[in-house]
């Protein structure tokens, strides 16, 4: 390779930019951010961070800072690296969805199903980013609309779930569930979780819902502490429209989207959930099956497994 070719490759590398989002309240995130930044800069890849996060990170001057947390701050970035727990990863998902930039999550929390790597994998993360050895997959989202007297009064979205919950601890939320314009059942409960397959291992899982593999396209509706004989989790077509109607004589409730954004639901409010028009793009470093990820994240007991008999597929 000639000197000219080397110079050209270096120039191209310097045009690459990665956005870094970190939970700077965690000492582990600060150290991890420092290691990631150093590795990317050594490879000639630019790094961009939010100014208020940069103030808490020991970063060199060559790191670009931007003042506002808007989707436009990712313009020109090829990847969004997020360091933190589930809350930080969901915050990163908001940036990823709005900008279309793939998100690569590094788990610094407890479970971190959205994360692609753990804290001990930082060197490998940097190497894969530098060599572009990662793939991008799209995760289904949901669009949420709140209606009152037929009019839409609020719109939102979620990667994991939209949860309709009671506010008053002493009284249940009286609701009627609907799928594709037809009523299913009505009862009192603590709430209803409408989730994506990605969200099946989050709030829906805690409420007793099924684990759904990410490649399965479906919508979930999971009651929380329902007082009813029939209040089972429902799994519907991805093209279905789910609705939760809050009864007029019940106390007001609240809608939480991904546990991050909340809006009050007055009595007689109607929450409609359907497949989202805009997915979230996730960067993947390896081809580990979701089954292996499930076993690892929940430390499931698999000792004694001998595998399929020889000759079986």
Q: Does the annotation flag 231 for ligand binding?
A: no
Q: Does the annotation flag 86 for ligand binding?
A: yes
The whole-angstrom separation of Cα 157 and Cα 145 is: 8
Q: Does the annotation flag 161 for ligand binding?
A: yes
C-alpha dist (Å) from residue 92 to 5, 79, 104, 303: 36, 11, 9, 36
Q: Does the annotation flag 11 for ligand binding?
A: no
Q: Does the annotation flag 160 for ligand binding?
A: yes
The answer to whether 86 is a known catalytic residue is yes
Q: Does the annotation flag 206 for ligand binding?
A: yes
User: 203: exposed, middle or buried (C-beta count within 10 Å: 0-12, 13-18, 19+)?
Assistant: buried
Given 3, 86, 180, 258, the catalytic residue: 86
Q: Does the annotation flag 204 for ligand binding?
A: yes
Q: Does the annotation flag 203 for ligand binding?
A: yes
Q: Does the annotation flag 121 for ligand binding?
A: no
Residues contributing to the annotated binding site for NAD(+): 86-87, 91, 160-161, 171, 190, 201-206
Residues noted as catalytic = 86
Residues contributing to the annotated binding site: 86-87, 91, 160-161, 171, 190, 201-206
């Amino acid at each position: 390779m000639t000197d000219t070719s080397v110079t050209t490759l270096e120039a191209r590398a310097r045009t690459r930019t990665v956005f870094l989002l970190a939970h700077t309240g965690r000492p582990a995130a600060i150290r991890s951010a420092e290691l990631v930044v150093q590795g990317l800069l050594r490879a000639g890849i630019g790094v961009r961070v939010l100014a208020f996060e940069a103030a808490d990170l020991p970063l060199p001057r060559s790191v670009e800072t931007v003042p506002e947390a808007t989707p436009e701050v990712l313009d020109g970035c090829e990847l969004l690296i997020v360091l933190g727990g589930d809350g930080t990863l969901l915050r990163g998902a908001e940036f990823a969805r709005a900008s279309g930039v793939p998100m690569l999550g590094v788990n610094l929390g407890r479970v971190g199903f959205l994360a692609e790597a753990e804290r001990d994998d930082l060197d490998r993360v940097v190497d894969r980013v530098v060599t572009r050895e990662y793939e991008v997959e799209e995760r289904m989202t949901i669009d949420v609309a709140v209606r009152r007297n037929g009019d839409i009064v609020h719109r939102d979205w979620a990667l994991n779930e939209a949860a309709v919950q009671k506010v008053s601890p002493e009284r249940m939320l009286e609701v009627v569930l609907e799928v594709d314009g037809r009523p299913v059942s009505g009862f009192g409960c603590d709430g209803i979780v409408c989730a994506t397959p990605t969200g099946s291992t989050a709030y829906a899982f805690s409420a007793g819902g099924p684990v759904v593999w990410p490649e399965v396209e479906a919508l979930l509706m999971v009651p929380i502490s329902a007082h009813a004989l029939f209040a089972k989790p429902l799994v519907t077509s991805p093209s279905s429209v789910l609705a939760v109607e809050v009864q007029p004589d019940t106390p007001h409730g609240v809608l939480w989207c991904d546990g991050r954004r909340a809006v009050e639901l007055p009595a007689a409010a109607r929450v409609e959930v359907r497949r989202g028009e805009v997915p979230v793009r996730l960067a993947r470093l390896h081809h580990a099956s979701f089954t292996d990820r499930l076993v690892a994240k929940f430390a499931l007991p698999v000792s004694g497994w001998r595998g399929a008999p020889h000759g079986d597929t």
